Amino acid sequence: MSKLSKLPKARDIMKMYGIRAQENLSQNFIFDKNVTDKIVSKAGIKQNDSLVVEVGPGPGILTRSIIDTGVKNVVAVEKDKRFMSSLSLLSKESDDVLKVLEGDILTTDHKQFLQYLKEADQEAIHLIGNLPFNIATPLLMQWLSMASKKSGIFSKPNITMTLMFQMEVADRIVAAKSTPSRCRLSVMVQSVCEAKRVYQVPSKVFIPKPDINAAVVSLKPLTEPMLQSPIESLEQVSRYFFNQKRKTVRATFKKLHDEMHSLHKPLLLEIQENLNWNALMRPQDISTEQFCQLAKMFHEKGVVC
Ligand SMILES: C[S@@+](CC[C@H](N)C(=O)[O-])C[C@H]1O[C@@H](n2cnc3c(N)ncnc32)[C@H](O)[C@@H]1O
């Protein structure tokens, strides 16, 4: 039995410190360790893996499941200072495997994670979290951008993200082309990562219970990059196409042509000819590779949407 099991239960922590869930921090807690153990098993964390970064540990049940794997370092970033006392107790009990940072994950300097890795470390790194739903998509976009530029923690190889999203967002992240949930987010994610939905979590496991179910998604940066332009070009191109979701590719190119500066019009026609796409496709039928190809051409020719 884990020595952490001697610590107060999460519900008792909430009572002891008089903590109530705050909606503005998207606090929907999981108190059932069987569920958090399952999330951790989906992450594939192994004993002696170098580092797990957890977003928003809150009362720390998922954190306990992570520590129980025997990983060398866990860095947990929590914005709500009301959890600091119980998390430092957990840190002590973990023999300092757990390091707690009070702050906002969106602005946390990744040097605070990198300090726990050796220069030549090739071991697995995990980013994990029952994400606060109000920052889940902006955080994912930030990490995709960093992964595409190999900056921050993404300068290291062998990173896996195991992240909980609202079910509808998880469906959009993993949606294949020509499926109903396909959108700009699917293209952005799949241009940088391999994405799989690995665990469906019913709303009843959360306290307070949200209106919708959630799902855990596993994301692994591609070893052979598909994106050959800055991710911002892909962002711009895919946004333009998905803003006219019902239009065919031909109609979208025509609209773009009409809106463009006259200097760019010949370049656009050249791009269109080289693409050799089915003009009757709609944005959801365009593959991620095709969007990346388009973004590269736009970037190289200096054309903006
Ligand atoms: C959905 S709860 C999950 C809590 C806990 N991991 C669990 O599974 O029970 C989200 C957690 O993220 C924290 N949080 C919200 N916004 C944050 C931010 N910008 N940076 C870091 N933590 C944040 C909340 O305070 C809360 O503890």
Q: pLDDT, tens digit, for every residue of 3-43?
A: 677 777 877 877 777 788 888 888 899 999 999 999 999 99
Q: How many domains does the chain have?
A: 2
Give residues (CB < 6 A) around ligand 1: 25-30, 55-59, 61-62, 77-80, 104-106, 130, 132, 135
Q: Ligand 1, atom 14: nearest CA belongs to which residue?
A: 56
Say if residue 125 is in the same domain as residue 246.
no
Q: Give the nearest ligand 1 atom to 28 CA.
A: 1
Q: What is the mean pLDDT of residues 273-287?
A: 94
Q: What is the pTM of this model?
A: 0.94
Q: Output the six-digit token pair for 175.
A: 């949606």
Q: Is the pLDDT of residue 141 over 70?
A: yes
Say if residue 210 is in the same domain as residue 71.
yes
Residue 5 lies inside a defined structural domain of this protein: no
Answer with the one of 178, 203, 221 that is the final residue of a domain: 221
Q: Which pLDDT belongs to residue 3? A: 67
Residue 158: band (very low, low, confident or very high) from pLDDT cuts 50, 70, 90: very high
Q: Ligand 1, atom 9: nearest CA belongs to which residue?
A: 29
Is 109 marked as a binding-site residue? no
Q: Ligand 1, atom 25: nearest CA belongs to which residue?
A: 80
User: Distances from the Cα of 153 to the Cαs of 45, 150, 159, 161, 302, in angstroms?
Assistant: 17, 8, 9, 12, 30
Q: How far is the CA of 63 from the centre of ligand 1 (A)?
A: 12
Ligand 1 pocket test, pick from 17, 32, 79 with the greatest ligand atom count within 8 Å of Cβ, gives: 79
Q: Ligand 1, atom 12: nearest CA belongs to which residue?
A: 56
Say if residue 152 is in the same domain as residue 203.
yes
Rounded Cα distance, 117 and 144, in Å: 21
Q: What is the mean pLDDT of residues 227-252?
A: 96
Say if residue 242 is in the same domain as residue 213.
no
Tell me which residue range forms the domain holding 290: 231-301
Say if residue 215 is in the same domain as residue 243.
no
Say if residue 86 is in the same domain as residue 155.
yes
Q: Ligand 1, atom 18: nearest CA belongs to which residue?
A: 104
Q: How far is the CA of 129 from the centre of ligand 1 (A)?
A: 8
Q: What is the maximum alpha-carbon separation in the chain?
A: 71
Q: How far is the CA of 207 from the centre of ligand 1 (A)?
A: 13
Q: Which pLDDT belongs to residue 118? A: 81
pLDDT digits (tens, 9 = 90+) for 196-233: 999 999 999 999 999 999 999 999 999 998 999 999 99
Q: How far is the CA of 51 from the centre of ligand 1 (A)?
A: 19
Is 30 marked as a binding-site residue? yes
Say if residue 194 is in the same domain as residue 101.
yes
Q: What is the mean pLDDT of residues 105-117?
A: 96
Answer with the one of 221, 249, 284 that is the final residue of a domain: 221
Say if residue 238 is in the same domain as residue 213.
no
Q: Which pLDDT belongs to residue 264? A: 87
Closest CA to 129 of 188, 68, 63: 63
Q: Ligand 1, atom 15: nearest CA belongs to which residue?
A: 25
Is 78 marked as a binding-site residue? yes
Answer with the one of 183, 198, 221 that is the final residue of a domain: 221
Rounded Cα distance, 164 and 136, in Å: 8
Q: Which pLDDT belongs to residue 1? A: 58
Q: What is the mean pLDDT of residues 81-88?
A: 94
